[in-house]
Structure 1
Amino acid sequence: MSKKDSRHEKKRNMKELLATMFKIGCIGFGGGTALVPVIESEVVYEKKLIDKEEYTKDVIVANITPGALPVEVAAGVGRKVCGMPGMLLSALLMGMPGTFLTVLLLILINSSGIRVLQQILFASAGVTAYIIYMLIMYAKGTWRECRESGTAKSGMFFMFLVFFLTSGKELFQLFGINRTPIFDISTIDVLCAAFFIIFYTGGVFRWGRVIVSIIITVLYCLCVGKMHLISSTVVLGIIRLTMVVLSIYGLRTGIEGKIPFSWKSLKRLIREEVCWAAMFFLLSLPALLCFGKTLAFAGRGLISAVISFGGGDAYLAVANGMFVNTGMIGYDDFYFKIASVANGLPGSILCKILAGVGYILGCQSGGVWCGIFVALCGFACSIAASGGTFSAVVYIYERFENLQIFQVLQTYMRPIVAGLLLTVCTSMIYQNMSIACWYFWPLVSMVLLTFGIFLLNVFWRRRGVVRPLQMVLFSAAASLIVCNVFASIP
């Protein structure tokens, strides 16, 4: 291939990459893990920008890295397709649509913002049904892959174990059970338990180790579950120490292979971190010029992003501690304005919340434009912290990925993610039912609407008559029309 053809190919890949990331950012209702199959469908199968193994690696790293998961996956894909420019721009475009809409609705909140948000919620019901379809297809594809690779039993064990441990709250909400579930474990705790089982057993299911790992995992879940049936911090500490020791014991046979070191890789990491820092500074510069507390806000924003494990709900708790409990922003502004708007929009909660907090702080200090500039700073915090942490973890992961145990981890990471996605499915069904509750519609109406749009997507995909973007638009249009009809009925 000539240099001219190579440049043309890179430009074409860059255009496809950025258009794809922006599109996913626009339809990314559910955020976080829910977008894993959506991104995979676009960049692996539809556009063929990277292969499945490369994408799986990005998903593994993003799941063990704090920050905004969709932004991290986008950065990883962009890094492989178009280097550092692709990495930065992909991350920005993935987070931009939801952030822009959050700030826009906060600006309009006292005029037409509520009506605009209502229409977005109506359209989101259809997009949610489409994403539920994508999540179910991902789980189905996982089962097929496990069967073909001879890991059907162990793969399905991990998938349904993760679903069982994480779906308690969602299932109780869905069926109207007003009790605290025994098992409702955070994502990071589930990953800790899953990694312990994988490291200790080495992926080889010998009954002795399986029984020991299950007993310890159950005890761990009783400690960290919502009911805290074992509430002793001493017991939890002992269990965690036992898990670490047994994991190391199991790893002794799984560390065959060399751990490579390359100055080239280290220099690349340093360049990437400098790029993330430069992007953060450039986007934060307007806020530094007009808002006196920019450094304090940015510092808390960066810290909150770096310590944010466990998805949107977990970040709300982190942000509450960073901004509400410290008196930086009021309770009503945070929960009744920022959180309520952010939860109804596509994209990462982390990006939307930080931008929303920035807007409120800036607007109170210097008006709308100051609010926009500080919101941009908050957005920069979310992207730079997520991307910078992701780059560092990628560097560490690449040093160990050729070890035998990490090959086993790659085999079982997809079933683990599939289990998390099944939990997301139940949460998204409840989210659509909540729309009916807000407007006093019969719950069955939203259940039928969601199921109907889901079946339409199944029909369209099997016939191959429409492309994914058309499926999204048709789903959104169908729910928008039906919900407005419901709203017009007195």
Structure 2
Amino acid sequence: MSKKDSRHEKKRNMKELLATMFKIGCIGFGGGTALVPVIESEVVYEKKLIDKEEYTKDVIVANITPGALPVEVAAGVGRKVCGMPGMLLSALLMGMPGTFLTVLLLILINSSGIRVLQQILFASAGVTAYIIYMLIMYAKGTWRECRESGTAKSGMFFMFLVFFLTSGKELFQLFGINRTPIFDISTIDVLCAAFFIIFYTGGVFRWGRVIVSIIITVLYCLCVGKMHLISSTVVLGIIRLTMVVLSIYGLRTGIEGKIPFSWKSLKRLIREEVCWAAMFFLLSLPALLCFGKTLAFAGRGLISAVISFGGGDAYLAVANGMFVNTGMIGYDDFYFKIASVANGLPGSILCKILAGVGYILGCQSGGVWCGIFVALCGFACSIAASGGTFSAVVYIYERFENLQIFQVLQTYMRPIVAGLLLTVCTSMIYQNISIACWYFWPLVSMVLLTFGIFLLNVFWRRRGVVRPLQMVLFSAAASLIVCNVFASIP
């Protein structure tokens, strides 16, 4: 291939990459984990920008890295397709639509009430049904891949174990059970338990290690579960220490030999971190000029992003501690404006919440434009912190990538993610039912609407008559029309 053809190919890939990331950012309802199959469908199968193995590695790293998961996956894909420019621009475009809509709706709510938010919720019901369809297809594809690779039993064990451990609250809400589930542990705790089992057993079925890993995992889940049947912090600390020691013991055979080191890779990491820092500074510059507390806000924002494990709900708790409990922002502003708007829009919760907090702070201090500039600073915090930590973890992961245990981890990462996605499905079904509760509609109406749009997507995909973006738009339009009809009935 000539240099001219190579430049043309790179330019074409960049255009496709950025257009794809922006599109996914616009339709990214359901949180970061829910976007894993959506991004995979676009960049692996539709556009063929990277292969499945490369994408799986990005998903593994993103799941063990704090921050906004869809932003991290977008950065990883962009890094492989177009280097550092692709990495930065992909991350920005993935987070931009939801952030822009969050700030726009906050401006509209401050001036004209919540009518616009209502229409967003109505349209999101249809998009939610489409996302549920994508998640079910991902789980189905996981079963097929496990069967083809000869890991059907162990793969399905991990998938349903993860679903069982994480779906307690969602299932209880769905069936109207007003009790605290025994387990219902967070995403990060599930990943800790799953990685412990994989590292300790090495992915090999040996009765002794399997029994020990099951006993320790059950005890750990009883400690960290919502019911806290074992509430002693000392016991939890001992169990965590035991898990670390046994994981290292199980890893010892896989770490034999020399771990590769490359100055070239280290220099690349440093350049990437400098790029993330430079992007943060440039986007935060307008806020520094108009808002006196920008550094305090940015510092809290960066720290909150770096310690944010476990998805959107977990970040709400982190942000509450950073901004509400410290008196930086009011409780009503945070929960009744920012959180309610962010939950009804596509994109990463982390990006939307930080931008929303920034807008409220800036608007209270210097008006709408100051609010927009501080919101841009919050957005920069979320992207830079997520991208910077992702680059660092990628560097570490690549040093160990060829070890046998990480090959096993790649094999079982998809079933683990699939289990998390099944939990997301139940949460999204309940989210749609909640819309009916808010407007005093019969609950069965939203169940039928969700199921009907789901079946419509199944029909369209089997016939192959529409593209994914058209399916999203049709789903949103159908729910928007039906919900407005329900709302007009006295």
Local SS of the residue matching 1:50 = coil
Q: How far apart are 1:254 and its partner, in Å?
A: 2.3
Local SS of the residue matching 2:110 = coil
**Which whole-Å deviations, capped at 9, do the CAs of 1:276-305 have from their partners, x for residues lacking one?**
000000000000000000000000000000
What runs of 5+ residues in structure 2 fail to find an aligned partner? none
**Which whole-Å deviations, capped at 9, do the CAs of 1:387-425 have from their partners, x for residues lacking one?**
000000000000000001111111000100000000000
Q: Is the 8 A contact 1:254 1:405 kept in 2?
A: yes
TM-score (norm 1): 0.99
Q: How far apart are 1:114 and its partner, in Å?
A: 1.4
Local SS of the residue matching 1:185 = coil
Q: Which moved more, 1:250-259 or 1:135-144?
A: 250-259
Counterpart in the other structure of 2:417: 417
Local SS of the residue matching 1:440 = coil
Q: How far apart are 1:258 and its partner, in Å?
A: 3.7
Distance 1:439 1:143 in 2: 38
Distance 2:113 2:7 in 1: 44
Counterpart in the other structure of 1:235: 235
Q: How far apart are 1:245 and its partner, in Å?
A: 1.2
Q: Is the 8 A contact 1:257 1:403 kept in 2?
A: no
Distance 1:386 1:195 in 2: 22
Distance 1:288 1:245 in 2: 46
Local SS of the residue matching 1:208 = helix
Q: Is the 8 A contact 1:106 1:113 kept in 2?
A: no
Q: How far apart are 1:5 and its partner, in Å?
A: 0.9
Q: How far apart are 1:112 and its partner, in Å?
A: 3.5
Q: Is the 8 A contact 1:105 1:113 kept in 2?
A: no
User: Aligned residues: percent identity?
Assistant: 100
**Which whole-Å deviations, capped at 9, do the CAs of 1:159-197 have from their partners, x for residues lacking one?**
000000000000001111111000110011000000010
Q: Is the 8 A contact 1:106 1:338 kept in 2?
A: yes
Q: How far apart are 1:248 and its partner, in Å?
A: 1.3
Distance 1:430 1:138 in 2: 20
Root-mean-square deviation over aligned CA pairs = 0.8
Q: How far apart are 1:231 and its partner, in Å?
A: 0.3
Q: How far apart are 1:249 and its partner, in Å?
A: 1.4
**Which whole-Å deviations, capped at 9, do the CAs of 1:357-400 have from their partners, x for residues lacking one?**
00000001100000000000000000000000000000000000
**Which whole-Å deviations, capped at 9, do the CAs of 1:134-155 have from their partners, x for residues lacking one?**
0000001001111111101100
Counterpart in the other structure of 1:27: 27
Q: How far apart are 1:246 and its partner, in Å?
A: 1.1
Q: Which moved more, 1:111-120 or 1:197-206?
A: 111-120
Q: Is the 8 A contact 1:203 1:408 kept in 2?
A: yes
Q: Which moved more, 1:52-61 or 1:472-481?
A: 472-481
Q: Is the 8 A contact 1:433 1:447 kept in 2?
A: yes
Q: How far apart are 1:256 and its partner, in Å?
A: 4.0
Q: How far apart are 1:255 and its partner, in Å?
A: 2.2
Q: How far apart are 1:113 and its partner, in Å?
A: 5.0
Distance 1:199 1:217 in 2: 13
Q: Is the 8 A contact 1:258 1:403 kept in 2?
A: no
**Which whole-Å deviations, capped at 9, do the CAs of 1:50-75 have from their partners, x for residues lacking one?**
00000000000000000000000000
Counterpart in the other structure of 1:13: 13
Q: Is the 8 A contact 1:60 1:413 kept in 2?
A: yes
Distance 1:151 1:252 in 2: 24
Q: Which moved more, 1:115-124 or 1:270-279?
A: 115-124
Q: Which moved more, 1:471-480 or 1:257-266?
A: 257-266
Q: How far apart are 1:443 and its partner, in Å?
A: 0.6
Counterpart in the other structure of 1:463: 463
Distance 2:394 2:250 in 1: 24
Distance 1:257 1:380 in 2: 41
Distance 2:463 2:229 in 1: 50
**Which whole-Å deviations, capped at 9, do the CAs of 1:235-286 have from their partners, x for residues lacking one?**
1111111111111111122224541111010000000000000000000000
The correspondence of residues 67-86 of structure 1 with structure 2, limited to 5 A, is: 67-86=67-86
Q: How far apart are 1:120 and its partner, in Å?
A: 1.1
Q: Is the 8 A contact 1:30 1:346 kept in 2?
A: yes
Distance 2:64 2:113 in 1: 36
**Which whole-Å deviations, capped at 9, do the CAs of 1:445-487 have from their partners, x for residues lacking one?**
0000000010111111111111111111111111111111111
Distance 2:198 2:413 in 1: 10
Distance 1:97 1:488 in 2: 30
Distance 1:157 1:167 in 2: 15
